[in-house]
A and B are shown apart, each in its own frame.
Chain A
Amino acid sequence: MSTTTIDGRTIHVDQEGFLTEPAEWDEDMARSLSALLGIELDERHWKILRFLRADHASTGETPTLRRVSTSLQVPMKELFQLFPTKPAKKMAYVAGLPKPRGCV
């Protein structure tokens, strides 16, 4: 298991750099991770991140974009605006979760 240091905090990450210990994540960490992506978090981001955390905690899986979009009633277009280019992976990263396993 690798570790890396972000804003002075040591966290466990997988080979790609996704966090592997959900407990090492908190909202400050989310701000640090999003800053690495050049994303400034506003309430729309937080709503998504909180859903990802809660859904992962209950299902053990990182939700796919479709699941986020249908569960929160957030249009797909907005997900692409909030987490540009690779929304599913970026929102999982900022939420401190593994990348989604599902295809759709």
Chain B
Amino acid sequence: MTTTDTTPTTTATTPTMPDFGAPTTDRTLAIICSKGSLDMAYPGLILANAALGEGATVHLFFTFWGFDMINKRTMADLKFTPVGNPATHLPTAISGMPGMTAMATHQMRKTIAELDIPEVPEFLEQIVDSGGHLWACRMSADMQHLSADDLYDGVEDIISASDFIEKTDGAQLLFI
């Protein structure tokens, strides 16, 4: 063993560098946002944002209560209610007391802000700026008598469920 060039096997001749994948990716993620409570709005937004940051194409479809996330009147004022929500670990009798929803909502907003995670409207803006596509459900719009003017400006169009399915052909799908 007199040779001096037996360096550890971890030293590579070609540089070790992260695999950043192909310059463009054909991965597409479709996220259906069907809930309008504060705690159920964030998972879709966070995953959409993460997927965009990894170079994926992302389409979000807002339907049923998820419409509250893009309705200008409600989007900045989503609530987190502990009633019937086992995640809060509160007894039902207590979670239903007056003021509990306001308190839980306040607490959740504070926690989210402390982590420097944006409010829903700003989060949607970040997703659009990152190249994400927002679509509103035709049936939900009709049920609530809302038009494009009532919706967040970044929403590209009000489309039918079948149009969304067509747009996201081959995509991976998340229903939230």
User: Complex: how many Å from CA A88 to CA B20?
Assistant: 11
Does A75 contact B20, Cβ atoms closer than 8 Å?
Answer: no
Q: Interface residues of A: mostly helix, strand, loop or mixed?
A: mixed
Residue-wise, chain B 107-138 has the 8 Å CB interface mask toward A (1 for contact) of 00000000111100001001001110000000
A31 contacts partner chain B, Cβ-Cβ < 8 Å: no
Does B16 contact A13, Cβ atoms closer than 8 Å?
Answer: yes
Residue of A nearest to B20 (CB): A86
User: Complex: how many Å from CA A50 to CA B82?
Assistant: 44
Residue-wise, chain B 14-56 has the 8 Å CB interface mask toward A (1 for contact) of 0111111101110000000000000000000010011001110
Interface size on A, residues (CB 8 A): 35
B93 contacts partner chain A, Cβ-Cβ < 8 Å: no
Does A3 contact B11, Cβ atoms closer than 8 Å?
Answer: yes
A103 contacts partner chain B, Cβ-Cβ < 8 Å: yes
B12 contacts partner chain A, Cβ-Cβ < 8 Å: yes
Given A65-B53, A85-B23, A86-B53 in contact, is the A18-B11 Cβ separation under 8 Å? no
27 cross-chain CB contacts under 8 A: A2-B10, A5-B12, A5-B13, A6-B15, A13-B16, A16-B18, A17-B15, A17-B16, A17-B17, A18-B18, A37-B20, A67-B116, A77-B129, A77-B130, A84-B55, A85-B20, A85-B54, A86-B21, A86-B53, A88-B53, A93-B17, A93-B18, A102-B116, A103-B117, A104-B49, A104-B118, A104-B123
The 8 closest A-B CB pairs, nearest first, are A85-B55, A76-B129, A2-B10, A4-B16, A17-B17, A17-B16, A16-B18, A17-B18
Chain B interface residues toward A at CB < 8 A: 8, 10-13, 15-21, 23-25, 46, 49-50, 53-55, 115-118, 123, 126, 129-131
